Structure 1
Amino acid sequence: MSTSKNWATAALVSCALLLSGCAALESMASDFAPSGEEVTPVVPSPVAKAPISTGEYDLVESCRVFFTGPIVDNVRQLRDAVQAPLTEERTGAFSSVSRNIGDIISKADEVSIAHLEAVRAPFDQALDGSIARPKAVDTAVKNYETACKEGGFKG
């Protein structure tokens, strides 16, 4: 019988400790509860998906860098390759085009960013293993060229 009394005593002590622990938690929780006013949840700000530009170049300068340098020539030479399966050589060429356009984007104006992203997209698509369309490259370059001329670029 003494064993069952020991078990009963242990159970009683355990229950008492458990209840006192619960009471302490409830007391602590009330310290963090709102005081009658509505609490609005904190919503994390969305991650910026658009490229961030320093705005160092205005539209004309962005156009000049793209259209008077070797970048546009590389884009035009590689336009047909975006529809072909990826090879080691194409991977290097597409990466170079994407990186060079990204360098301009980092300094470009807002109008140029949208157009340059459209030019870069088929190359990035090809790098991801998807087959891109050469017509997408042509259209993006043509649209950017039109925006540049409308913006005052004489090149």
Structure 2
Amino acid sequence: MSTSKNWATAALVSCALLLSGCAALESMASDFAPSGEEVTPVVPSPVAKAPISTGEYDLVESCNAFFKTRLVTDVTAAAPAVQAPLNEELTGAFSTISKTIGLLIGKADAVSIEHLEAVRAPFDQALDGSIARPKAVEAAIKNYETACKEGGFKG
């Protein structure tokens, strides 16, 4: 019985210490409470974002860099595999495609950036282990091609 009394005493002392600690924290918090004066919240200054692109290419140049190079061929050839489990070869190919599109995005115009991100997204999803659809790649390429032709790209 003396052991259970010791445990009970220890539990009682622990609770008392815990409650007194909470009370101390509460009194310290009141030291930092507003004193009835209106407190103006501090608004953080806007963070300058790094530019997404240098804008070095206009729409037609961006379209040329995608459609008149091997990039569109690689993307189209790899599209059916975005739904497959990745192996070492696919991982390397998808990484290369994603990086190459990223480099193009770094020079592309604003319209192209949106379309190129849509083309790249399924490859990045597959690399992340998420579900990706080959039709998403196909649709993104068609949408980009349409935007390019509307912007003066002769294809």
Runs of 4+ in 1 over 2 A off after TM superposition: 36-40, 42-48
Shift of 1:41: 1.3
Residue in structure 2 matched with residue 98 of structure 1 by the alignment: 98
Query: Residue in 2 aligned with 1:39?
Result: 40
Question: Partners of 2:141 and 2:51 in 1: how far apart?
Answer: 19
Q: Counterpart of 1:127 in structure 2: which amino acid? A: L
- Normalising to structure 1: TM-score of the pair? 0.72
Structure 1 gaps of 5+ residues are 1-25
Name the counterpart of 1:11: none
CA distance in 2, matches of 1:47, 1:142: 34
**Partner secondary structure for residue 107 of structure 2:** coil
Read off the aligned partner of 1:80 and give its amino acid letter: P
- Unaligned 5+ runs, structure 2: 1-30
Q: Partners of 1:110 and 1:149 in 2: how far apart?
A: 16
CA distance in 2, matches of 1:94, 1:66: 16
Corresponding letter in the other structure for 1:150: E
Q: Tell me, in whole angstroms, the C-alpha distance in 1 between the residues paired with 2:145 and 2:111.
A: 12
Matches of 1:81 and 1:115 in 2, distance apart? 20
Letter in 2 for 1:88: E
Match of 1:66 in 2: 66
Larger Rg: 1
Shift of 1:46: 6.1
1:53 aligns with 2:53: yes
Q: Given the two structures, how large is their TM-score scaled by the length of structure 2?
A: 0.72
Q: For 1:152, what is the secondary structure of its paired residue?
A: coil
Deviation per residue, 1:95-134 (Å, 9 max, x gap): 0000000000000000000000000000000000112100
